[in-house]
Amino acid sequence: MKTLVVGNSLDVLPIIENSISSEKSKEVTLFTTEGVLPYDRAYLPHLVAPHAHENVMFKTAEVFLASYHPEVITSESLIRISVKRRHLTTETKKQINYDNLVLVDTGHLILPSIKGHQRTGVFDCWRLSSIKSLKKHLPFADSVIVLATKIQGLNMACAISQLKKEVTVVSNGPGLLADIFDEESGLLLKQILEGKGIRVFSDNAVEEILGDTDVKAVKLKSGKVLAADTVIVDEVKADIRMLSEPTLTDQDQIVIEENFKPSMMPFAPVKFGFDVLEGFYAGWTKLPEGGREYLKFDGPQNVYKKIYVHGDHLVGFVIFNSTKDVERLLGILQRQDNITGKEEEII
C-alpha cells in the first residue's frame, strides 16, 4: 500500500509518522505543495524583518525526515488529483500513483470575496511564496492595511510596523481578534497597538479594494476610504478545487491544517506581538459557561493578566507585557492544579 501525503505545513509530519509507525503503508510519499520542505507558518511574519533567516523554518522537517525517510517530492507543482484513478498530476504532466491519499493543503488559497482582491499589492500571510513577494514589494510601500482576524495577521501588522511603515489594522469586532479574545481583552489590545502607532479600525470591514491594477485605497463598510498601497489578509481557505472527484474513499482523508480554520478555542500556547506587544495566551480565552474570570491591569505599564477558571481548575489565560508569569500559569494549566480559593493569589 502506498500512502501519498500532500501538503507543506508541519501538520504533515505526524501523519507521516503515524503511517510509517503503524505499518499501514509499505511506502509513504510526501508531496510538498510549495517546492520547499514543510515549515511552521507561524514563523512567516518574522521573515519581513531585514535580517531574518529563512533556513531556520525547515530545521524541524529536516530532522524528522532524516529519521523517517519517506520519499519526498519538492520539485513538482500540483495541478490535479484524480480520486477515481488514484493519482496526482503535476505541472509537467507527471503522474504519481497512490493507494491512500491524505490531503493537508494544495498550495493554493481562496482569499475573502472582497471586490478588488485580485489587484497588485494584495497578499496573504500563509505561504512562503506570498511573503517573498511581499518582501520585494515593501521597500516601495508606504501604507499597509492588514485585515486581521487571527494571530497571524496581528503578528504581520506588528512586524511591518517595525519597518517604519504606516500600518492600519481593520477588525470586524469591537476590539481585536474577536474570534480569539473576549471584548475586554480585544479592546485593550486595540488600545496598546494604537499607543504604539498602529491605527485600528474596529467594528468594521473592508468592502472594496480600490485602484486600477495596483492597490490605491480601501473602502470600509462604514463608507470611509483609506489610502493604501498594500493590503494583507489572514482569513483564507484552502483551495481543493483541483480534486477531480470530491468524493473520497474510506482510506482517504482531507485534513486541512488548523491554521486555515477559524478557532474559537485555541489550546496550544501562543506568543504574539513581536516588539510591539509581548502577548501570550493558552487554553480558554473567553469565559466558559459556568466559569469565572479574574484580572489585574497596570495601565501605565500596559500589563494585563486575565485568567479563566472552571470548577477547581485554571482553564486558560491571556497576558500582555508580563512574560515572567507565563511559565508559572502554563504549568498550573497543564498540571490542572486545584486552585480553589487561590485565584487572586495566582494572578
Its domain, for residue 248, covers: 2-108+238-260
Count other C-beta atoms under 10 Å from residue 259's C-beta.
20
Domain check: are 191 and 250 in the same one? no
* pLDDT, position 246: 63
Please check whether residue 273 lies inside any domain of the structure: no
CATH of residue 176's domain is 3.50.50.60
Write the pLDDT tens digit of every residue in 96-107: 999 999 999 999
Q: How far apart are CA 258 and CA 104, in angstroms?
A: 10
Domain check: are 101 and 136 in the same one? no
Domain check: are 226 and 339 in the same one? no
Domain check: are 284 and 249 in the same one? no
Please check whether residue 54 lies inside any domain of the structure: yes
Q: How far apart are CA 191 and CA 33, in angstroms?
A: 39
| Residues in Cβ contact with 18 at an 8 Å cutoff, skipping those fewer than 6 apart | 24
Domain check: are 22 and 46 in the same one? yes
Write the pLDDT tens digit of every residue in 180-201: 999 999 999 999 999 999 999 9
Domain check: are 98 and 119 in the same one? no
DSSP classification of residue 19 = H
Please check whether residue 123 lies inside any domain of the structure: yes
| Residues in Cβ contact with 132 at an 8 Å cutoff, skipping those fewer than 6 apart | none
Domain check: are 222 and 254 in the same one? no
- Specify the length of the chain in residues: 347
* pLDDT, position 265: 42
Please check whether residue 247 lies inside any domain of the structure: yes
Domain check: are 126 and 227 in the same one? yes
Determine contact, residues 310/278, Cβ cutoff 8 Å.
Answer: no
Domain check: are 222 and 123 in the same one? yes
Domain check: are 103 and 242 in the same one? yes
* pLDDT, position 49: 83
Domain check: are 101 and 154 in the same one? no
* pLDDT, position 93: 96
Secondary structure (3-state) at 209? strand
Looking at 225, 260, 295, the residue that finishes a domain is 260
Please check whether residue 269 lies inside any domain of the structure: no
Please check whether residue 80 lies inside any domain of the structure: yes
Domain check: are 103 and 248 in the same one? yes
* pLDDT, position 264: 41
Total domains in the chain come to 3
* Per-residue pLDDT at 25 exceeds 70: no
Please check whether residue 270 lies inside any domain of the structure: no
Average pLDDT over residues 108-117: 94
Single pTM value for the model: 0.91
Please check whether residue 272 lies inside any domain of the structure: no
* pLDDT, position 263: 46
